[in-house]
Amino acid sequence: MPSTYVTFSRNVFIPLTNICRNRCAYCGFRRGMEHPEATLLLPAEVEAILSQGARAGCTEALFTFGERPGEVPGFNAWILELGYDNIIDYHVELCKLSIRKGLLPHSNPGVMGKDELLKLKPYNASMGLMLETTAQVEAHRGCTGKHPGVRLETIENAGKLRIPFTTGILIGIGETLDDRVRSIETIARLHEKYGHIQEVIIQNFTPKHGTKMAQSPPPGINGIKKTVAMARKLLPDDVAVQVPPNLVNSGELVKCGANDLGGISPVTIDYINPEEAWPGIAQLHETVGVPLRERLPIYPGFVKEKLYSEELSPLIRKFSDSEGFRKPYL
């Protein structure tokens, strides 16, 4: 059944570094240290993005970076030059900066240990890690961090620590329909055990120039619709089904049970899919066919439960209404 409303958050996208230990066959974001586009954003660059986002009325700072870049030879020299021992310690300071600038951090650093989750927890409204698939697929060959068990351990540890969490599946990378079902069932079981999953993203693979899968066909709309409907059926009602409105016709998928559009930025591009522009929020009102409700990076149920730290409390009180959604923004 279609939702009576669809949620989204207003964010800025901060690609902290594109150095990554994995070499996924479909990824156009990763760069090696030798590449001229290899980057690590400096504090002043991050602050400029945060300031721009605050002026544009954003509430979320989405931090994304390559997984365990410190395992890539040469990267740690960059971090040491900035005065930090590792990328997580550096990232903690940038989350604190985000809070000072008035935006709630949501971090996607890749696979993390329990100690790293604990470091980031006080300074993040929510965190995330895409499961992608429970299957072993050729697209993940040689990617240490894409082993399903490793990713599930991070998601489960987030549950043990009561961290509001985002996960999801990536479809069209060599998995079967049965694999998608198993992936969603696995996520559902983790939520039933810990109650920490706030949304599950159904993201469709899109071919990227220069990657091993550049000529691979993306999943068709019918397959995406079936996957969204399946996810809505198998996931608990309090877990949102999210679809990326810049990658697929969100109106069609709302009819299948999708009820969240993720973070939409009026300021920054989608650095993972830079060729796909964000739709305007006014445009989305027409596309989805139901009312939009703006939320924070932490979902309304967790806001009402006060599942956040004292460090985040002033901002969440400032932004949230009595139901846990964002107060009207003009």
With 0-12 / 13-18 / 19 or more C-beta atoms within 10 angstroms meaning exposed / middle / buried, residue 227 is buried
Mean pLDDT score, 120-145: 97
* pLDDT single digits (tens) 65-116: 999 999 999 999 999 999 999 999 999 999 999 999 999 999 999 999 999 9
Handedness of CA 175, 181, 182, 185 (dihedral sign): positive
Neighbours of 186 (CB within 10 A): 18
> What is the per-residue pLDDT for 283?
84
Residue 330's pLDDT band, with cuts at 50, 70 and 90, is low
pLDDT at 329: 77
The pLDDT confidence band at residue 277, using thresholds 50, 70 and 90, is very high
Q: What is the pLDDT of residue 316?
A: 98
Instruction: Give the mean pLDDT of the chain.
Output: 96
Please compute, for residue 224, the number of CA atoms within 13 A of its CA located in the half-sphere on the CB side: 28
For 163-204, how does the pLDDT look when each residue is reduced to its tens digit (9 = 90+)? 999 999 999 999 999 999 999 999 999 999 999 999 999 999
Show the domains of the chain with their CATH numbers.
6-319 (3.20.20.70)
Does residue 10 register a pLDDT over 60?
A: yes
Q: What pLDDT is recorded for position 284?
A: 87
Give the Cα separation of 143 and 12 in Å (integer).
28
Does the pLDDT at position 1 exceed 60?
no
Q: Distance between CA atoms of 316 and 296, rounded to whole angstroms?
A: 8
- In the chain, pLDDT over 70 holds for what percent of residues? 99
Residue 2 confidence class, pLDDT cut points 50, 70, 90 = low
How large is the average pLDDT for residues 136-147?
96
pLDDT tens per residue, range 212-232: 999 999 999 999 999 999 999
